[in-house]
Structure 1
Amino acid sequence: MASTGGPAAPRDPDWEGVRLHVVTGKGGTGKTTLAAALALALAAEGRRTLLIEVEGRQGIAELFGISALPYEERKIAGVTPAQLGLPGRAPGEVHALAIDTELALLEYLEMFYKLGRAGKALQKVGFVDFATTVAPGVRDVLLTGKACEAARRKGPDGRPLYDAVVMDAPPTGRITRFLNVNAEVAGLARIGPIHSQAQAVMRVLKAPETAVHFVTLLEEMPVQETVDGIAELREAKLPVGGVLVNMVRPPVLDAAAVAAVDGDHREEVALALAEAGLGGRARKPETVRAHIEPLLGPLLEQAREHSERVELERSQRADLQQLRLPTYELPLLGEGVDLGGLYRLAAELKRQGAA
């Protein structure tokens, strides 16, 4: 398991050859943040990545401090090797796209049925909203299809337009159904363009060029959802990627201190505080004790809480290790995640071999 130790040379990437990175995770784990950081890391060394949002929350725009993304691909960030602590001078680029379901369906209707203005008329009478509501599988075909098309699109020189595509996907509880679009539309269309599109999407999603990464925290519910989600993906024969453990806190107490917390150590702590000078200038033991006594309870309670947290994290790490997947740990950014924080997380992902 990778850790958040001090600076070190980046490892060779674990996902060489993967072009479509799907990022999922339980709500509140920082899924969008790490999808953005992964896109930045993948753009290092002169590469070009596309970051796709499918949930309509404009979370990418908020993270990068830009205006709401339209339904078109646009550059949102540059990445120099120096920003990620790498040698070299070739800058990379991150482009972004927020997929609008209605516009994606109109694009689809034009592509396969050449509806043109008729498609716009369908939008005005509410057909598009009706279609994606009564047939949610069609909506998912449109969303995943756009990402798959971008991953395989060629530029004028015949080379892939993007070196990697990162999809900020729906949460863990919905990810298998979202990606397993072929099964979702089977009952709606057994032949025709929708069926063909779903099959084309599934060929990309099940190919070695795709990996589904899970974002989690070292807490019971997110870890359990991760374990369950990975089991569902494996059952559906969809490609499982790595586990991104977010918001990892640095240890405050060493193992010996954690193990000693359960005992009654008031006298030892009081003596240590006195030796550290927290009794003020008083010389009489009873006066020193009077200064220190109010501190003992809160300090010991915090130590117990930290000990419980360390034990919980230890057990959750053990559960994640049972998955036998590449695992990366990202630090808790106490000041919050701004653009600088995103680059810091990207550098950590790069260092640990996630990109």
Structure 2
Amino acid sequence: MPDWPDVQLHVVTGKGGTGKTTVAAALALALASRGKTVLLCEVEGRQGIARLFDVAPLPYAERRIAHAEEGGGDLYALAIDPEEALLEYLAMYYRLGRAGKALDRFGVVEFATTIAPGVRDVLLTGKVYEAANRNARNKGARHYDAIVLDAPPTGRITQFLNVNTELAGLARMGPIKSQADAITSLLRSSRTVVHLVTVLEEMPVQETADGVAELREAGLPVGGVVVNLVRPQDLDATQRGELLAGGVDTAALTTELGRVLDRDPGPLVDVLVAEGRDHAERRALEDRQRAVVAGIGVPTYELPRLPGGVDLAALYELADDLRDQGMA
């Protein structure tokens, strides 16, 4: 059974370089493999989803990009553009159709999304809220069982998700306050969780721990931690201990290699032992960081480092891993 059966909105964040977008895409595919209709959103304008799924750059429109053969769910994607979101907001809540386009021509939209503090993040989270709260009144709009948001990095995630609370404090009444309150209610509800992605290195792990603490302090729901790019476990604990202690029997290793090589294996033995020691040291570092992750006190999941990189086939493999571990 999945760990988050009642969650509709999965927010995925992580320090740059940890594979945040890859994990978000794999999670979306895993949810689709459960038979769900899923929307995968990005808000940073990098078109990372399009590159991962090898499709054309995403417009400001919900486009189907994958179908899960196992489970039968569909995956849609959306690149949320703040200027387009503002025009849609004006048309939806203020009936400013042509007038909204006129504002765009005069540069008002650009002003609102680049200069006015917090407006850009309000519009981005507002579009996610709209997709999560469609009902029979939204004629022709697609209903999503789950939404995965490829969100800003860990260092900015609390501010990004909490911006509507700040806006509601400034706007004491009226439709702006109502919208901000509604979005905040969704982001703080049991329908939402924030997952954090890290790798087993000191700085990303510490930033993840700090991010969890900040989210909790802000009253935002923390989900799980995904440890990405985990190296294969090529050596057991005994072998690693021998390498770290310098206790490898190089004479026996030289003899064994000499039976299969037609040259002196001595130089090769030295290289192998040195690489083995580096691997053991790296594993020891990773084990210490894994213990720190475990101490955060949330469910953890691990995804392997794939030697061939990440393509569409690899995404499905990672999605299977997340589903098997219960994240989706």
Q: Which category describes the TM-score, using the shorter chain as reference length?
A: over 0.9
1:20 and 1:148 in contact (8 A); partners too: no
Any idea what the Cα deviations from partners look like across 1:153-206, whole Å, max 9, x if unmatched?
125899981110000000000000000023332465333322221111000000
Q: Deviations over 1:92-134 (max 9, x none)?
A: 1001111111010011112222222121111112111111222
Greater mean deviation of Cα atoms: 28-37 or 125-134:
125-134
Structure 1 gaps of 5+ residues are 1-11, 82-89, 283-290
Q: How does 1:110-259 map to 2 (within 5 A)?
A: 110-154=91-135, 161-186=143-168, 188-259=170-241
Q: Cα distance, 1:272 vs. partner?
A: 1.7
Structure 1 counterpart of 2:221, which letter?
A: P
Matched-pair contact (CA < 8 Å) for 2:168–2:177: yes
Residues 338, 183 of structure 1: alpha-carbon distance in 2 compared, 3 angstrom cutoff: same
Partner SS, residue 336 of structure 1? coil
Residue matched to 2:2: 13
Give the whole-Å Cα distance in 1 for the aligned partners of 2:217 and 2:259: 59
Compare 251-260 and 293-302 and name the one that shifted more. 293-302
Query: Which range moved further: 155-164 or 121-130?
Result: 155-164
Aligned equivalent of 1:87: none
CA contact (8 A) 1:278 1:292 kept: no
User: Match for 2:51 among 62, 75, 83?
Assistant: 62
**Alignment length, in residue pairs?**
327
Alignment partner of 1:78 is 2:67: yes
Indicate conservation of the 8 Å contact 2:192/2:221, yes or no: yes
Task: State the shift of 1:344 in Å.
Answer: 0.3
Distance 2:234 2:316 in 1: 25
TM-score when normalising by structure 2: 0.94
- What TM-score do you get using the length of structure 1 for normalisation? 0.87
Letter in 2 for 1:44: S
Amino acid at match of 1:228: D
Specify the SS of the correspondent of 1:276. helix
Superposition RMSD in Å: 2.0
Shift of 1:263: 3.3
Match of 2:275 in 1: 302
Distance 1:157 1:170, change over 3 A: closer
Q: Percent identity?
A: 60
1:84 maps to none
Deviation at 1:279, TM superposition (A): 7.1
Matched letter for residue 68 of structure 1: P
Compare CA radii of gyration and give the structure with the larger one.
1
Between stretches 92-101 and 108-117, larger displacement belongs to 108-117
